[in-house]
Amino acid sequence: MVYTRKSPALTIIGLILLAHSYLVKNGQLEAVVKYLSLTRAVGEMTQLSLIFGGIALVVGLWHWFADHKEGDLDYYLGSVAGGIFILFVAMIVKWYFDPLVAQLSREIGPVIPGRRFIHDVFGLNYVVLGIVLGMVIVNVFKIPEWAQHGVRLSRLGLKTGVILLGTLYSFRELVHLGQLSVVMIGVFVLGSVWLVLLIGARRKIPNSMGGVLSAGVGVCGVSAAVAAAPVVQAKSEEIAYTIGTILVFGVICMFLFPVVGHLLGMGYVQFGAWAGTGILNSAQVAGAALAFQPNGIETLKVAEIFNITRVLFLPIIVLWLAVWYVKRETEAGATNLVQVDTGKVIIEKFPVFVLGFIAMFLLSSTGVFAPAQHYQGRYFDNTNVSGSRLLNDAELTTLRTESAKLQRDDQKAALGRLIDNKKVMSIADSDVLRGIVSARTLAGPANAAITKANGAVFHTAKMIAAFRDWLTWLFAFGLTGLGMQITIAAMRQAGGEPLVIGSAVGVAKAVLSLIVVVMLVRETI
C-alpha cells in the first residue's frame, strides 16, 4: 500500500509558515503581537515557523512531484503531512486563538469575585481549544486525505512528552508523590475494578464484557482494556463498547475537571492527584492537567505520577481478571475456554513509555540534566544571592512581627534563620517555609516575603528550561491530534448497559477521589 498522496497542501503550509516567520521577525505583525501580548513568544514564533516551514516545503515538494512506491521511505515520509497538519493547527491555536480568547475575556471583565475571567473559570486555553478545534475538524470537515496517515503521530507526541517528563522529577519529590499515589491509586483502581465486576454480575452482562470494562474503567482506559481483552476472551464489539464508554466519559471529564478545580480553588498537587485518579484515559489526564495549568507543568507532573502509578497496577489487574474469568466461566459450565499465556499478554501490552519515563528519571537523578538534588526541576543554591533579592528591612520587620503566630519549633527556627541571614539557608528550611505559606498562618505580606526568599535560592538549569519548552509543544501537538481522533461515530459505540455501568462507576470514582483529595491531600511536598 502506498501511503503518500500527491497534493500541494503540505507545500502550501510550508510557504505559509515561512512567510509567517519572515513577517514576525521583521515586525510586520507588531500590532497583532502587542494586542495579543505575544512579545515573549516572538522568538519562538520566528524559529518554529522557520524550522517546520522548511521541513514542510521540502517534504511537500517530494509529496507533490515524486513517484511514490511502497517501502519505508513512503511509509515514514508519508506521515510527515499529517504531523505538520496537526502542528500547524496547534500553532494557530497556541499563538493566536488562545491569546485572542484571553484578551476578549479580559475586556469583558471578571465574571466572579477575585478577578476570575471567563477563560480562567472555564479553562479556555490552548489545550482545550486545540482539542475542541481538532474535534470540529474531524467531525465537521473531516481529516484531509493527504494528512490521514500522519494524524496518529499525535500519540507519539504524548508518549514522548511523558517520557521527557521524567527528567523534571527529583528523587525526593517522586518518593513523596509515589507514596501518596500508591495509596490512592491502590484503593481506587482495585475498588473500581471490583465494583464494575460486581455490578456487571448483578446486571447479568457477559463475563467477557464485565472483565474488559472493569480494566478500562478501573486502570488506565483504552490501553488497559486492550491488555485485558485476551485474558477474558472479549469480543470485538465488547472492546468497542468499552472504548466508546471510556471516550464519552473521558471527554466530559477532560473539560469538566478543570472548571471544578478552579471553582474549588484547588492547588496544583490537589488537582493533579484528582485528575490522575479520577479520569479514565491517560491522554485525557494530560489534557485536563494542562487545561488547569496551561502555563506551567507542576500540575501535569503530579497527574502523570498518579497516571503512571495506575499503569503499574496493570499486571496485577490482568492476573486478577484471568483468574476471575476462568472461575466465573467454570462455575457457569463453560467447556470451550481458550488457554491464554497471561505473562506474555502482560509483557506485550505493557506501555513501553512508562519504562522510558523511569529511565529518564534515573538519568535525571544522577545530575545529567540538572544538579541531582533538584526539586520540581529547580536546584538549591544560596551562595550567590544578589543584594536586590535579599529580604529588605521592611520585609524583615513584617516577618519579625508575624513570627509570634507560629506554634511549631521547626517553623520558628526556620523563620529565625531566614530573618538573621536575609535568605533561605537550606533545602530543609525551604520545605518548612513553604509549609508556612501553604498553611496561610501568616499575613499576606509575610507570605510574599517568604515566597520571594525561596525564589531567590532556587534556579532552573538551562537543560530543564529547554525540556519545559519542548514538553509544552509535545503536549500541544499530541492533544490537538487527540481531538482529531475523537469522532462522534466512536462515541456512539458505547452500548447502553456498558455505558451506564462504566459511567456510574466513573462518577463514583471521580466524586469520592475529589472528597479524599480535598480533605487529605496537602499542597506541600
Give tens-digit pLDDT for 286-336.
889 988 888 777 888 889 888 888 888 888 888 888 888 888 877 776 555
Q: Please tell me the distance from the alpha carbon of residue 415 to that of residue 442, in angstroms, as a whole number.
A: 11
Identify the burial level of 335 via C-beta atoms within 10 angstroms of its C-beta, where 0-12 means exposed, 13-18 middle and 19 or more buried.
exposed
Share of the chain above pLDDT 90, in %: 32
476 and 451, same structural domain? Answer: no
Q: What is the pLDDT, as a whole number, of residue 182?
A: 85
232 pLDDT band, cuts 50/70/90, is: confident
Q: What is the pLDDT, as a whole number, of residue 145?
A: 92
Q: What is the pLDDT, as a whole number, of residue 31?
A: 94
Q: What is the pLDDT, as a whole number, of residue 360?
A: 84
pLDDT at 169 exceeding the cut of 90? no
495 pLDDT band, cuts 50/70/90, is: low
Share of the chain above pLDDT 70, in %: 90
Q: What is the pLDDT, as a whole number, of residue 262?
A: 87
Per the CB < 8 A criterion, the answer to whether 268 and 298 are in contact is: yes
pTM across the whole model: 0.74
Residue reference for cell 507560629: 406
Per the CB < 8 A criterion, the answer to whether 16 and 53 are in contact is: yes
Indicate the helix (H) or strand (E) that contains 209.
Answer: helix 207-215
pLDDT at 376 exceeding the cut of 60? no
485 and 444, same structural domain? Answer: no
Output DSSP code: residue 86. H
Residue with the bigger pLDDT between 91 and 464: it is 91
Residue with the bigger pLDDT between 339 and 466: it is 466
360 and 315, same structural domain? Answer: yes
Q: Please tell me the distance from the alpha carbon of residue 454 to that of residue 447, in angstroms, as a whole number.
A: 11
Looking at residues 457-469, what average pLDDT do you find? 78
Q: What is the pLDDT, as a whole number, of residue 126?
A: 86
Looking at residues 411-415, what average pLDDT do you find? 91
Output DSSP code: residue 141. I
Q: What is the pLDDT, as a whole number, of residue 407?
A: 86
- Kindly state whether residue 153 falls inside one of the protein's structural domains: no
390 and 326, same structural domain? Answer: no
186 and 270, same structural domain? Answer: yes
363 and 498, same structural domain? Answer: yes
Q: What is the pLDDT, as a whole number, of residue 244?
A: 82
- Kindly state whether residue 2 falls inside one of the protein's structural domains: no
262 and 398, same structural domain? Answer: no
Quick count: other Cβ atoms within 10 Å of Cβ 352? 9
pLDDT at 191 exceeding the cut of 60? yes
pLDDT at 248 exceeding the cut of 80? yes
Chosen domain end from 460, 475, 502: 460
Q: What is the pLDDT, as a whole number, of residue 516?
A: 92
407: Cβ–Cβ under 8 A, 6 or more apart, which residues? none
Per the CB < 8 A criterion, the answer to whether 266 and 297 are in contact is: no
363 and 351, same structural domain? Answer: yes
Q: What is the pLDDT, as a whole number, of residue 12?
A: 97
- Kindly state whether residue 150 falls inside one of the protein's structural domains: no
Residue with the bigger pLDDT between 372 and 285: it is 285
- Kindly state whether residue 130 falls inside one of the protein's structural domains: no
Instruction: Please state the φ and ψ torsions of residue 379, each to the nearest 5 degrees.
Output: -115, 155
Cell of residue 401, nine digits: 512581627
Task: For residue range 87-118, list pLDDT tens digits in order.
Answer: 999 999 999 999 999 899 888 877 665 556 77
- Kindly state whether residue 436 falls inside one of the protein's structural domains: yes
469 and 433, same structural domain? Answer: no
Task: For residue range 18-54, list pLDDT tens digits in order.
Answer: 999 999 999 999 999 999 999 989 999 999 999 999 9
Per the CB < 8 A criterion, the answer to whether 37 and 99 are in contact is: yes
Q: What is the pLDDT, as a whole number, of residue 181?
A: 84
Q: What is the pLDDT, as a whole number, of residue 42?
A: 94
Q: What is the pLDDT, as a whole number, of residue 377?
A: 58
Residue with the bigger pLDDT between 58 and 175: it is 58
Q: Which domain holds residue 415?
A: 381-460
Sign of CA dihedral 433, 437, 442, 447: positive
Q: What is the pLDDT, as a whole number, of residue 361?
A: 79
Least confident range from 250-254, 311-315, 430-434, 435-439: namely 435-439
Residue with the bigger pLDDT between 223 and 79: it is 79
Q: What is the pLDDT, as a whole number, of residue 34?
A: 93
Q: What's the mean pLDDT when you consider all of the chain?
A: 85
Q: What is the pLDDT, as a whole number, of residue 485?
A: 85
507 pLDDT band, cuts 50/70/90, is: very high
- Kindly state whether residue 525 falls inside one of the protein's structural domains: no
Chosen domain end from 432, 460, 488: 460
Number of domains in the chain: 3
- Kindly state whether residue 168 falls inside one of the protein's structural domains: yes
- Kindly state whether residue 283 falls inside one of the protein's structural domains: yes
pLDDT at 180 exceeding the cut of 90? no
- Distance (Å) of CA 250 to CA 246, 480, 507: 6, 16, 11
> Residue 399's Cα: distance from chain center in Å?
38
Q: What is the pLDDT, as a whole number, of residue 21?
A: 97
269 and 254, same structural domain? Answer: yes
220 and 198, same structural domain? Answer: yes
440 and 302, same structural domain? Answer: no
pLDDT at 196 exceeding the cut of 90? yes
Q: What is the pLDDT, as a whole number, of residue 371?
A: 67
Chosen domain end from 445, 460, 475: 460
